[in-house]
Amino acid sequence: MTELWRLSATELAQRIRTREVSAREAAESALQRLDAVNPQINAVVAHRPDWVRTQADEVDQAIARGEDPGPLAGVPVTVKINTDEAGFATTNGTRLQENLIAQVNSPAVDNLRRAGAVLLGRSNSPTFALRWFTSNLVHGATRNPRDPSLTPGGSSGGGAAAVAAGIGHLALGTDIGGSIRYPAYACGIHGLRPSFGRVPAFNASSPERPIGAQLMSSTGPMARTVEDLRVALMAMSARDLRDPWWAPAPLDGPQAPLHAAICLRPGGLQIKPEIEAALLDAGRRLANAGWKVEEIEDTPLIREAAEVQERLWLGDGFAALTEAVARDGDPGASAVVAAVRAKVATLPADVISQSLVRRTTLTRQWRLFLTKYPVLLLPVSAELPFPDGLDIEGEEGFRRVWEAQLTLRALPAMGLPGLTVSTGMVGSVPVGVQIVANHFREDLCLLAGKAIEARGTPISPIDPIL
């Protein structure tokens, strides 16, 4: 019999719902897998086995009573350390928040629980979720299970590494500049950044976020199959009045033509040959599945969108961030602050209002563009996953990382959804593509993602490479 931790989330939930296996058995399998491999990769930094078993028993008891346990019945899920989970510290990877114990769950965590999921543990992230690499002075560094010399991505690097190694079937992450999409890419799994307003978000443990973060950050799932992402999105998207930005949009929009565009060099981005090959291969996969695929020269002003994202992020609260990073002392976070300090010095006093006005114009342009091309294929990054710690190897390393992540930085400025689909391996290094669609058209991202996934993805889950 296949070990339960190896199954997809949807298959495991189906087996539990039909009593082929129990949620307790699934929980024990997940805990055993965590004990076996987490010491090698440090993906999960806090967990309570008795609490995991209690949640699983509640699912089994609901089934025994003839109740619907939910679409994620008994599925083990990890939750990122910057997201409130009652009884655990929302450390955000900083020593300043080691004792910030959440009293209630964030909306997405509550929604997962109502869908029957079992919260397995807390997944690691960089300090203040600032990097595309995952280490901090509270919990240490997370290693990529496919190749420990590579970054596991960030900021949801712990969740992605856990899913790839079979520690939980799903991971909850957050994304304001690629923090779901890039870890999925780096670890050879799939990750979905939902549209702004799709998944409700709120941390009662923390002060209200600045407006830029409110408008650009997104909570979403990472998984080993596209179908698992679909079910997780459905669960996480349920209404919660604590988030005023939540929108009651249907999960499936009107039928759209199977028409995809590929842009190899958005904004003049210089991509590596392996990235170009992956994009062209994904285009062929879509064409073989009946899609019309068209290569285009460029997208709407993607570099300007990245600049708006940067200004909305840096233009409000940078002084407080700088002070907090200095108090924490993390070298990775300090490197980010040092690298962007000069950008902040030149920002005008009305940077936020200017950026919000420009955001409206850019969003309009992208909406019209994505009406013409319902699906857009882009690089996730201009490069294969970086050597771990590249961003703290001097100014040139940071500039290289920053430029390579152009598409990851730009799309949140408009609140657009983006899906990373892992498509293969270049030696021991994962590669994949990014699928973009219009607001609240995650269904189109997932439709295209399934067609691409059906024609080959890396083996997953895996035993970590030492």
From 80, 156, 237, 355, active-site residue: 80
Residues 287-294: contacts with CB under 8 Å, at least 24 apart: 288/455, 289/258, 289/451, 289/454, 289/455, 290/258, 291/258, 291/259, 291/260, 291/375, 291/448, 291/451, 292/257, 292/258, 292/259, 292/260, 293/260, 293/261, 293/262, 294/259, 294/260, 294/261, 294/262, 294/373
Q: How far, in whole angstroms, is CA 331 from its chain's centroid? A: 23
Answer yes or no: 80 catalytic.
yes
The label of the residue with tokens 């058995």 reads 25
One-letter identity of residue 154: G
Answer yes or no: 428 catalytic.
no
Residues 6+ apart with CB under 8 A from 439: 195, 196, 367, 415, 416, 417
Per-position DSSP letters for 442-465, written without gaps between them: HHHHHHHHHHHHTT-----S-PPP
The answer to whether the beta carbons of residues 133 and 151 sit under 8 Å apart is yes
Conformation bin of residue 78: beta by default, left when phi > 0, alpha when psi is -120 to 50 = beta
CA distance 187 to 206: 30
Determine the 3-state secondary structure of 73 from DSSP: coil
From 106, 155, 205, 381, active-site residue: 155
From 106, 179, 355, 422, active-site residue: 179
CA distance 431 to 453: 13
Answer yes or no: 195 catalytic.
no
Q: Which residues are catalytic?
A: 80, 155, 179
